[in-house]
Amino acid sequence: MKPNRRSFLKNVTAASALLATESIAKPFHIIKDLKKISPNDKIRFATIGMGIQGHSDTKAALRSSQDVEFVAAADLYDGRLTRVKELYGKDIFTTRDYRQILERKDIDAVLVVTPDHWHDHITKAALQAGKNVYCEKPMVHHINEGLSVIDAWKKSGKTMQVGSQRISSASFKEAKRLFQAGEIGEINYVESNNDRFNAIGAWNYSIPTDASPSTVDWDTYLGDAPKRAFDAKRFFRWRNYQDYGTGVGGDLFVHLITGVHFVTNSLGPERVMSSGELSYWKDGRDVPDVLVSILDYPKTDIHANFQMVLRVNFANAGAIANNTRIIGTEGQIEFTENNLVLTKKKLPKAPGMGGYDSFNTFSEAQQKEFKKQYDAQYPDDTRRAEPVKEVKFEAPKEDDAHANHFRDFFENVKKGSVGTVEDPVFGFRAAAPVLACNESYFSKKIVHWDPVAMKMKKK
């Protein structure tokens, strides 16, 4: 029976508010982990949201360990529930109502792979129900939702992982090792881009011919988004709309920022500004397809201040080379999910003279005097730079970042540990800057952020 939307949202909202207030009253450090799972038991998990990423996550979770079992799935489109049984077996429990999954005592973990506007609601309800949670990026739809999710996680004592899986790749781990070893000196600049030029890459996904109010639970889908008549595009291509998604920021910038935070151990920027436009995909979407954001990171005890520039261009008909470059005073690390190049380059101590230089404009007498002083100050060995060094790293062919990310999650579930590689604090510190990028774009203003307190600052 289809749940009543009004009572459904009322229950979810009330549960979320209760979690937020109770967790403030009960600090994290006094909460004990809940029951650990026996090493001999399989972790039984369910996926809530069986769209493209839901299927991808489910398959990666199954690849990650022989000690996991996929037992249930929820989705608001009937055709996807049928597809689950076709792919994974008729015994998989399927439902439109994710609350039926949370009520089951035999399910240890849930994968929250819904449109962004449902992330915080389902995550908090799942934690309250005693489930371990893997929540897709970005962790929240709005920047003011992050702290309540963190509070719910702390109160529950359960394992929670945010799903930006690239940081579990061998290449990202090597980038982190090199950076932490000081191989590029002091960081000063980062640039990262993720361009595309195809319709599916621009989120114009296929829409089934039977999409209708009878096969899709449209009222529940809307959730806390504005009420409107059924629109199949808004359901199957939800990333194109602010009401349900977070645009290129929440889909792609979040990966780029997560990677840089993982490598540098940064807590986040303090100032964010964006510029862009809807350039090519003028198909009714209300988010930009070209976006450039500049993020200013403050100096901390573990890294120098630096600037990060992010770019997404969904209309790039030219050469596409999606990568991240972390640049420092002694070199750079350029990396993707699969490979890495470290280039080391140090300047000589002597600044040089002659050539395109004001030295040649001096009088002959002054040139002689200057050269005498220069020779005395800079002997020959200070005038030669060290040869440029290049170190290449290729990830092993068997490296599977997606499965690695889930393996970390499930291993911590078994231990009853909250210490995942991308816990909700880390996840929100990556999500908040991308949501600030969107805020800057739409408001045409600079956004000021406190990366330590994880709150907006007024200026």
φ, ψ dihedrals at 204, nearest 5°: -85, 70
12-24 residue pLDDT tens: 444 444 333 333 3
Please give the model's pTM, rounded to 2 decimal places: 0.90
Query: Which residues sit opposite 335 in a β-bridge?
Result: 324, 340
pLDDT the model gives residue 30? 33
pLDDT the model gives residue 184? 98
In degrees, rounded to 5, the angle at the alpha carbon of residue 253 between the alpha carbons of residues 403 and 138 is: 60
Check pLDDT > 70 for residue 9: no
376-403 residue pLDDT tens: 999 999 999 999 999 999 999 999 999 9
Say how far apart CA 192 and CA 429 lie, in whole Å: 18
Check pLDDT > 70 for residue 11: no
**Who wins on pLDDT, 35 or 86?**
86
pLDDT the model gives residue 38? 63
pLDDT the model gives residue 436? 98
39-90 residue pLDDT tens: 568 999 999 999 999 999 999 999 999 999 999 999 999 999 999 999 999 9
All structural domains of the chain with their residue ranges: 43-167, 171-398+423-456
Strands, sheet with 132-136, edge to edge from the N-terminal-most edge strand: 93-95, 68-74, 43-48, 109-112, 132-136, 160-163
Work out the average pLDDT over 108-135: 98
Render 10-35 in DSSP notation, one character per residue: HHHHHHHHHHHHHHHHS-GGGPPP-P
Closest C-alpha to 115, from 89, 88, 136: 136
Residue for token pair 């809530």 = 48
Q: Give the end-to-end CA distance of the chain in Å, rounded to a whole number.
A: 50
Check pLDDT > 90 for residue 37: no
pLDDT the model gives residue 159? 98
Q: Cα–Cα distances in Å, from 368 out to 142, 305, 352, 358, 381? A: 66, 41, 15, 14, 21
- pLDDT band with cut points at 50, 70 and 90 for residue 458: confident
Question: What CATH number has the domain spanning 171-398+423-456?
Answer: 3.30.360.10
Work out the average pLDDT over 94-114: 98
297-308 residue pLDDT tens: 999 999 999 999
Q: Which helix (H) or strand (E) holds 264?
A: helix 254-264
Q: Cα–Cα distances in Å, from 406 out to 41, 67, 84, 130, 397? A: 17, 12, 20, 19, 18
Work out the average pLDDT over 222-236: 98
CATH class of 43-167: alpha beta
